[in-house]
Structure 1
Amino acid sequence: MDVVSDAIATVRTGRASSNRVRVGGRWCARLAPYDGAGFHVVLEGGCWLLPDGGSAVSLGAGDAVLLPHGTGHVIADSPADAETVARAVPFDAWTGGPPGSPAPTTELLCGKYRLDHSRVHPLLAELPTIVHLPNRVGGQAELRSAIDLLGGELSAQRPGAGIAVPGLVDLLLVYMIRAWVAQDGGGAWPAVLGDPVTAAALGALHADPAAAWTNDRLAERAGVSRPTLARRFTSLVGRPPMAYLTWWRLTLAAARLRDTDDSLATIARRVGYGTPYALSHAFSREFGTTPGRYRDGRRQREAAGGADQGLGR
C-alpha cells in the first residue's frame, strides 16, 4: 500500500453517495457541516460555491471541487449575499429547482464521503478547506476520465451500476487528492512525497508496518546514512521515523478495532506488537482509553450516525 491509499483507507467508513443534478434559473442549496468530505463537479454551465466563513468560489464547466473537512456550504447560481443564503434549501431535500423553473442551464455531479476524522493522517489533515481543481486542457486526464465515467453511470440505469458507481466515486476521491498533491507548491506533504529518501522510508513502513524496523534498517532501505534519514524525515514529516511508525501502527490498530471483529491478539500481530498486552498499553497511552472501550464507543457512534442519504434527486 502507498501512503495516499493508506491515508484514505484508514478514515473511510460507510458508502459514499452521489447524484447528477440539472438546474436552471435562480437556485441555491445548502449542505450543512458534515463528518466527512464533499465534492462537486460542474458538467455543464457554471455556479458558485459559498463556504461557511470563506470567500465565494466561481466554478465553470469541467471544474471539480473537494471539501475534505466537511465544511458547510451553499452552491448557487450567483455569488453570496443575504438573499442567496436565506433561500438555500437543504441539500438532501433538493429537487434541482422550484416548479416551473427555466430549462436547465447547469449540470452538476455532487457527492459526499463519510470519514472518521478522529485519527486522520497528516496528509489529509493538511488539505485546505477547499481544493479547487479548475478544468484545463490536457490537465488531470485521469480525473477527467473518472468524471466522465461517473456522470455516464448516474445518467442511465445500467446493469452493474450498483458496483460501478461506488467504485468510481471512491476513485474520484483518490484522483482529486492526487491532483492536489501534484499541483500544490506550498504544502508539507507534497514535499514529503516528492523527496526520494523520505518517500522511500515511508513506502517501506507502510508496506510492512509489522516488520522489526530500526533506524539503521530503514536508512539502509532508503539508501542513506542513519543521520541523513533522521534529518530529512524529521524535517519533512514533523516527527522521527520510529515515532511516525508507532503513530501509524496505533492508527492501523484503531481502524481494525473500528472496522473488524479481529481479536486484540490478531490486531497486535498485524500491526507489529508482540503481545496483546503491549498493544493495549501503547494504545491506552495514545488514546486515553482501552482498545475494548474504543471499539465499543466507535461502533456506538457509527450506529447513531445512521446511513448517509443521497444528494439531490
Structure 2
Amino acid sequence: MDVLSDVIGTVRTGRPNAARVAWHSPWGMRFPEVSGVGFQVVLQGSCVLTVEGEPPLHLGVGDIAFLPNGQGHVVSESTGSPVEDLCALLPHGRTGEPAGPVTELVCGPGGAGPRFGSGTAGGAEHGEPACVTLGGSYHTCSARPHPMLAELPRLVHLPARVGARTELGAAVELLGSELARPRPGGDAVVPSLLEMLLVYILRAFIEENRHAASRGWLGVMRDPAVYAAVQAVHRDPAHPWTVAGLGERAGLSRAAFAKRFTALVGLSPLAYVTWWRLTAAGRMLQEDDAPISAVAARVGYSSQFAFANAFKREFGLSPGRYRAGVPVREVPAGAPSAG
C-alpha cells in the first residue's frame, strides 16, 4: 500500500460510525472525546462548532470540520444556544462511546445497535430543519499512533469551495444519501464510503498546506526523495534495509539522505525502519492468527527472540500478550521509540 493508506490502515481499529442528523431549533449537542478521529459536515443550513481552547468555528453548507485526535466538541445553532450533553444521554452514563448525534442510532439499546443511521434532534421535530449535519468517528489504536495524525492541528477546517475537491464532495453526497435512505447492502457500502471520506479529507488537508513549512510528515508527503524511501519501507518491511540502500531509492548519497530524512521524519532512517516493522507487526498480530514466528519473519526478523524483545520495548508487553488483548501502555503519538 502507499504511505497514506498504510497510516490509516495501521491506526484504525474496529468499525467507523456515522449519522446524518436533521437539527430543529433550538439545538446544540456536546460530543465527548473519543479515542480516534472525528468529523462534522454541514449538508444544509449552518452551525457553530466549538472546541475548548479554540475560537468558535462557523460552518456553512459543504464545510467540513475534522478532529484528528477525537477532541470533545459542541455543535450548535449559535454560540448562545442551549446545549445537551451526549454523555448524559448514553445508556448507563457511559462515556467515550462512538460520537454520533443520536444515541439510539449510534449506540443502540445497550450499546449494541447499528453504527449508521439518520434521525432528528433538537427542538420541535416538524417543518424544515434549521441544519442538517453528517458526523462520525473512526476509532484508532492508542498503542499504534502515527506521527502524521499527531502533527495535524486540533481542529482542521476545510471550507467549501465551488468547483474544488470534487471527489470529497461526491463522497459526502454518497454517504449522506446512504444514511438518509437505508437500502440493501448499506452495511457494506457505508464503511467503505467512510474510509473514502477519511482519505479525501487527509488529501485535501495535504493539498491545502502544500506551501506550508516543510518539516514533519506533511514535508515527507511533498518530498519525492524521502517519500520514495518511506514508501519502499512500507511496501517491504522485511527487506534488510540499510541507509545506503534507502538513499539509493531516494536518489541521494548516504549522508545527504540520512540528513534529509532525519530532518523531516524526526527519526534516523533505520530507527524509522524498526518502528514501522513493529507497528506493522502489531497490526498483523491483531488481524490474523499466523504464528508469532511467521509475523516476525514478515517484518524482517529471522529470530523470534529478537522480535519479541524489540516488540516489548516498543509496546511494553510481549507479542503474545498484545495479541491476547492485554491493555498496553499508550505511546505518545509522534514519539516512537528508536527500537
1:182 paired to 2:207: yes
**Residue of structure 1 in register with 2:19 after alignment:** 19
State the one-letter code of the partner of 1:162: D
State the one-letter code of the partner of 2:11: V
Secondary structure of 1:219 counterpart: helix
CA distance in 2, matches of 1:247, 1:200: 17
Please state how far the C-alpha of 1:268 moved relative to its aligned partner. Answer: 0.4
**Residue of structure 2 in register with 1:223 after alignment:** 251
The change in CA–CA distance for 1:235 and 1:300 in structure 2 (over 3 A counts) is: closer
State the one-letter code of the partner of 1:154: L
Residue among 171, 177, 181 paired with 1:152? 177
**Residue of structure 2 in register with 1:61 after alignment:** 61
Residue among 92, 109, 122 paired with 2:134? 109
Secondary structure of 2:66 counterpart: strand
Could you tell me which runs of 5 or more consecutive residues in structure 2 were left unpaired when the two chains were aligned.
90-100, 105-119, 330-339
CA distance in 2, matches of 1:248, 1:126: 17
* Contact 1:19 1:154 survives alignment (8 Å): yes
Secondary structure of 2:190 counterpart: helix
Please state how far the C-alpha of 1:299 moved relative to its aligned partner. Answer: 7.2
State the one-letter code of the partner of 1:261: D
Please state how far the C-alpha of 1:212 moved relative to its aligned partner. Answer: 1.2
**Residue of structure 1 in register with 2:262 after alignment:** 234
Please state how far the C-alpha of 1:228 moved relative to its aligned partner. Answer: 1.1
Secondary structure of 2:157 counterpart: strand
Q: TM-score, normalised by structure 2?
A: 0.83
Secondary structure of 2:154 counterpart: coil
CA distance in 2, matches of 1:128, 1:101: 38
Q: TM-score, normalised by structure 1?
A: 0.89
State the one-letter code of the partner of 1:146: A
Secondary structure of 2:42 counterpart: strand
* Contact 1:23 1:103 survives alignment (8 Å): no
Match runs of 1:117-128 below 5 Å: 117-128=142-153
State the one-letter code of the partner of 2:103: A
Please state how far the C-alpha of 1:257 moved relative to its aligned partner. Answer: 2.1
CA distance in 1, matches of 2:146, 2:190: 26
CA distance in 2, matches of 1:298, 1:41: 36
Please state how far the C-alpha of 1:171 moved relative to its aligned partner. Answer: 0.7
Please state how far the C-alpha of 1:300 moved relative to its aligned partner. Answer: 9.8
**Residue of structure 1 in register with 2:103 after alignment:** 93
Higher helix share: 1
**Residue of structure 2 in register with 1:31 after alignment:** 31
* Contact 2:143 2:315 survives alignment (8 Å): no
1:46 paired to 2:74: no
RMSD: 2.0
Please state how far the C-alpha of 1:42 moved relative to its aligned partner. Answer: 0.4
Secondary structure of 1:66 counterpart: strand
Q: Deviations over 1:81-117 (max 9, x none)?
A: 5x644x4455443841234565312111111111112
* Contact 2:67 2:156 survives alignment (8 Å): yes
Secondary structure of 2:197 counterpart: helix
Q: Which deviates further from its counterpart, 234-243 or 257-266?
A: 257-266
Q: Which deviates further from its counterpart, 291-300 or 279-288?
A: 291-300
Could you tell me which runs of 5 or more consecutive residues in structure 1 were left unpaired when the two chains were aligned.
302-313
1:141 paired to 2:166: yes
CA distance in 2, matches of 1:127, 1:288: 26
1:168 paired to 2:190: no
Secondary structure of 1:119 counterpart: coil
**Residue of structure 2 in register with 1:253 after alignment:** 281
Q: What number of residue pairs does the alignment pair up?
A: 298
CA distance in 1, matches of 2:278, 2:191: 28
1:191 paired to 2:219: yes
Secondary structure of 2:143 counterpart: helix
CA distance in 1, matches of 2:159, 2:256: 38
CA distance in 2, matches of 1:298, 1:145: 40
Secondary structure of 2:78 counterpart: coil
Please state how far the C-alpha of 1:137 moved relative to its aligned partner. Answer: 1.2
State the one-letter code of the partner of 1:93: T
Choose between structure 1 and 2 for higher RCO, CA contacts under 8 A separated by at least 6 residues.
1
The change in CA–CA distance for 1:262 and 1:102 in structure 2 (over 3 A counts) is: same
Secondary structure of 2:69 counterpart: coil
Please state how far the C-alpha of 1:169 moved relative to its aligned partner. Answer: 0.8
